[in-house]
DNA sequence: AATTACAGAGAACAGTTGTTAACTGGATGA
DNA sequence: TCATCCAGTTAACAACTGTTCTCTGTAATT
């Protein structure tokens, strides 16, 4: 089942990706609900009507961006949470992984943080669904840990979602500190690590 | 120093408030960066140009909304955190207070959640400043607690900000559950309470 | 009673927006 | 080779945007 994707489809996917990239760029200084279809096509250098060959609407493009930003992140999360080494080290690695991801894909992170509570319903729902998946996956990994014996399913999911939210908060802080001096970035790093540690301590004493 | 506010100024403040209210209403299904000046004046029933008598721009109106939504909340937070009774009861009261506030001012809460990471810089900064104030105030109250002896200033502020973020997350969850059946709302309530309790447990064992 | 200040109205401006329809030209499959 | 498909173009549409300038009526001041 090889699909070598003829010249036709290849070019189509190329402009589709160009539209997504241009939109993501424009969204650094505005929200999705104010992003214009013509604005996007103009940035790509293509006729406004060409937009409809790829997306029904801006909201549709938005949900595609959600998939692009979060879809490929699931394996990353799983391995990070599951890898079992020293507790303190694990937290440090998680924080560094978040920092690295924000460095590599700042626009994607900004988009998710911005549109999670943004003005476009379908996009909010797409993000909510993805984050719920993250929650389930983190829960599954936590369940394997020996610290989790005696925990109810509900409590495991509660903790998993707490971790997921905390990751997003941390990512957002790193984003704000992107152009800040190194000392500021270090400070954010330390605060994030301590918050994560405090939650983990709460986890260890949950059943007392 | 009495200022009985002549007829003139009284009427002006009235339309100003009408503009704020109309904007807040329109923002339930879009973001600030897509809110139009004419849209707001039309909703109030006033000429577009009248807008400039009250605000320089939509961003300016946005920062006024931030003040309206968060400015009067400081005393509420202080007393809630400071009141010293049974630990479990304190958390329950805090959650109920958040739920009540979301019920009473859903549009304000939505506005803050949406524009905290939204596309309008001055508004983001206004919200960030207010939340930083909340963090400081919570820290001040936490410092008075006997559980806080031996804590560094940095760690106290770290914890305070963790609480503040958690309050916002909780408020946002209540908002999503506003039109949901009572059982769903109860579920949200219980999850929020447990997350808050887990953080508090982490706090108690922080110095181990 | 006469003058000033000023909230709001009205009209006009150059640009912008989403969406429609009909069209073009090169890749695709028979 | 020829007919078909379809990504992208062109042109046009009514509706909308923020902002300027000028004007009006009435409250506030003298």
Nearest to B119 among A31, A200, A204 (CB): A31
Find chain A residues with C-beta within 8 A of B198's C-beta.
Answer: 158-159, 162, 199, 202-203, 206
Kindly report the average pLDDT of chain B as a whole number. Answer: 95
* Domain match, A49 and A95 both: no
Is B63 contained in some domain? no
Q: Tell whether B32 and B133 lie within a shared domain.
A: no
**CA→C1' distance for A7 and C27 (Å):** 7
* Same domain flag for A82 and A52: no
A57 interfaces chain B, CB cutoff of 8 Å: no
Higher pLDDT, B82 or A178: A178
For residues A110 and A51, membership in a common domain is answered with: no
Quick check: helix, strand or coil at residue B55? Answer: coil
CA distance B157 to chain A (A): 9
Report if residue A136 sits inside a domain.
yes
Query: Residue A85: its pLDDT value, please?
Result: 73
* Token reading at A46: 């293509």
Is residue A139 domain-shared with residue A186, that is, in the same domain?
yes
Is residue B2 assigned to a domain? no
Residue A87 has pLDDT above 90, yes or no: no
- Domain contains A151: yes
CA distance B173 to B106: 11
Q: Which residue is nearest to nucleotide C16 (CA to C1')?
A: A38
Name the burial class of residue A82, with classes exposed (0-12), middle (13-18) and buried (19+) by CB atoms within 10 angstroms of its CB.
Answer: middle
Q: Where are the beta strands (DSSP E) in A136-193?
A: none
Q: What is the CATH number of the domain that holds A19?
A: 1.10.10.60
User: Which of A62, A119, A139, A157 to substitute to test the interface with B, most B CBs within 10 Å?
Assistant: A119
Take residue A113 and report the two structure tokens written for it. Answer: 């943080």
Nearest Cα to Cα of residue B151 among B199, B94, B208? B208
Find where tokens 């506003």 sit. Answer: B178
Cβ-contact A148, A89 below 8 angstroms: no
Q: How far apart are CA B177 and CA B157, in angstroms?
A: 30
The Cα-based distances of A35 to A50, A121, A123, A196 in angstroms read 16, 15, 13, 35
B16 shares contact with chain A (CB less than 8 Å): no
pLDDT at A9: 95
Question: Are both B145 and B163 inside the same structural domain?
Answer: yes
B92 pLDDT band (50/70/90 cuts)? very high
Q: Does one domain contain both B140 and B165?
A: yes
Q: Is B200 on the interface with A (CB under 8 A)?
A: yes
Structure tokens that stand for A86 in this block: 């020293």
Q: Of the candidates B29, B117, B154, which has its C-beta nearest A113's C-beta? A: B117
pLDDT at residue B3, as a whole number: 59
Q: Report how far apart, in Å, the C-alpha atoms of B115 and of each of A59, A63, B136 are.
A: 18, 20, 21
pLDDT surpasses 50 at A1: no
Residue in this structure with the two tokens 């559950």, named with its chain if needed: B177
pLDDT at A3 over 70: no
How many other C-beta atoms lie within 10 A of the C-beta of residue A190? 13
Residue A161 near residue A102, CB atoms below 8 Å:
no
Q: What is the pLDDT of residues A5-45, one digit of tens each?
A: 788 999 999 999 999 999 999 999 999 999 999 999 999 99
Q: Using 50, 70 and 90 to split pLDDT, how confident is the model at B86?
A: confident
CA separation for the pair B10, B30 (Å, rounded) = 30
At A141-199, the pLDDT tens digits run 999 999 999 999 999 999 999 999 999 999 999 999 999 999 999 999 999 999 999 99
In the structure encoding, which two tokens stand for residue B194, read together?
């447990």
Domain count across chain B = 2
- Helix, strand and coil in chain A, % to nearest 5: 80, 0, 20
Confidence of residue B6 (pLDDT cuts 50, 70, 90): confident
The 3-state secondary structure of B1-25 reads CCCCCCHHHHHHHHHHHHHHHHHHH
- A63 domain-assigned: no
Provide the 3-class DSSP secondary structure of residue B98: helix
**Residue A76 pLDDT greater than 70, yes or no:** yes
Residue that the structure tokens 């914890």 belong to: B159
pLDDT of residue A60: 98
**Which nucleotide has the least CA–C1' distance to B46?**
C8
Name which of A158, A191, A205 is nearest B158 (Cβ-Cβ): A191
Helix, strand or coil for residue B127? helix
- The whole domain housing A50 covers 7-56
Q: How far is the CA of A4 from the C1' of C14 (A)?
A: 49
Flag whether pLDDT at B58 surpasses 90: yes
Q: Are residues B200 and B139 in the same domain?
A: yes
Q: Which positions 127-156 of B are in contact with A (Cβ < 8 Å)?
A: 154-155
Computed over every residue of chain A, the mean pLDDT equals 95
Nucleotide with minimal C1' distance from the CA of A44 is: D8
Dihedral over Cα of B37, B41, B44, B50: its sign: positive
Integer angstrom CA distances of residue A168 from A38, A47, A102, A196: 31, 37, 11, 12
User: Does at least one atom of strand D sit less than 7 Å from the CB of B48?
Assistant: yes
Sign of CA dihedral B172, B174, B179, B181: positive
Model confidence at B56: pLDDT above 70: yes
The token pair at B102 is 């979301």
Tokens 């809460």, residue? B109
Q: Could you read off the pLDDT of B139-194 as tens digits, one per residue?
A: 999 999 999 999 999 999 999 999 999 999 999 999 999 999 999 999 999 999 99
In whole angstroms, what is the distance from residue B133 CA to residue A137 CA?
35
Residue A2 lies in a domain: no
Contact of B107 with chain A, judged by CB distance below 8 Å, is answered with no
Q: Confidence band (pLDDT; 50, 70, 90) for B22?
A: very high
Q: Is B48 on the interface with A (CB under 8 A)?
A: no
Q: Do A99 and A192 reside in the same domain of the chain?
A: yes
B34 in reach of chain A (CB within 8 A): yes
pLDDT over threshold 60, residue A2: no
Look at residue A88 and tell me if it is in a domain. Answer: yes
Q: Over 80: is that where the pLDDT of A4 sits? A: no
- Please check whether residues A128 and A197 belong to one and the same domain: yes
| Euclidean distance between CA atoms A55 and A64, whole angstroms | 9
Interface test with B, best of A28, A114, A138 (most B CBs within 10 A): A114
Write the CATH number for B137.
Answer: 1.10.357.10
Could you tell me what percent of chain A has a pLDDT over 70? 98
What's residue B2's pLDDT?
A: 43
Q: What is the full DSSP assignment across A51-110?
A: GGGT-SSHHHHHHHHHHHHHGGGHHHHHHHHH--S-HHHHHHHHHHHHHHHHHH-HHHHH
Residues B156 and B74 in one domain: yes
Q: Is A75 exposed, middle or buried (0-12, 13-18, 19+ CB in 10 A)?
A: exposed
Please give the average per-residue pLDDT across B88-111, as a whole number. Answer: 96
Residues B75 and B45 occupy one common structural domain: no
Integer CA distances (angstroms), B72 to B68, B122, B134, in order: 7, 20, 11
How confident is residue A82, by pLDDT bands cut at 50, 70 and 90?
A: confident
- For residue B1, the model assigns a pLDDT of 42
Average pLDDT for residues A53-68, to the nearest whole number? 98
Q: Cβ distance B171 to B98 under 8 Å?
A: yes
φ/ψ of residue B8, rounded to 5 = -55, -65
Average confidence (pLDDT) over A83-90: 80
Q: State how far the Cα of B206 lies from the Cα of B183, in Å rounded to an integer.
A: 35
- Is residue B1 included in any domain, yes or no? no
User: Would the Cβ of A48 be found within 7 angstroms of any atom in strand D?
Assistant: yes
């Amino acid at each position: 089942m090889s699909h070598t994707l003829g010249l036709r489809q290849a070019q189509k996917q190329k402009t589709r990706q160009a539209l997504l990239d241009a939109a993501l760029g424009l969204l650094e200084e505005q929200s999705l609900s104010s992003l214009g279809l013509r604005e996007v096509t103009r940035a790509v250098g293509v006729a406004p009507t060409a937009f409809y060959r790829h997306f029904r609407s801006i909201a549709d493009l938005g949900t595609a961006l959600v998939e692009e930003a979060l879809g490929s992140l699931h394996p990353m999360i799983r391995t990070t949470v599951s890898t079992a080494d020293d507790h303190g080290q694990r937290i440090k690695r998680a924080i560094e992984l978040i920092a690295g991801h924000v460095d590599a894909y700042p626009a994607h992170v900004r988009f998710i943080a911005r549109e999670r509570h943004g003005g476009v319903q379908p996009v909010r729902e797409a993000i909510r669904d993805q984050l719920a998946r993250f929650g389930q996956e983190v829960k599954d990994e936590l369940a394997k840990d020996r610290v989790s014996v005696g925990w109810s399913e509900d409590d495991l999911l509660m903790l998993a979602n707490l971790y997921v939210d905390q990751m997003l908060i941390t990512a957002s802080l790193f984003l704000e500190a992107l152009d800040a001096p190194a000392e500021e970035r270090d400070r954010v790093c330390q605060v994030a690590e301590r918050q994560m540690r405090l939650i983990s301590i709460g986890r260890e004493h949950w059943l007392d």
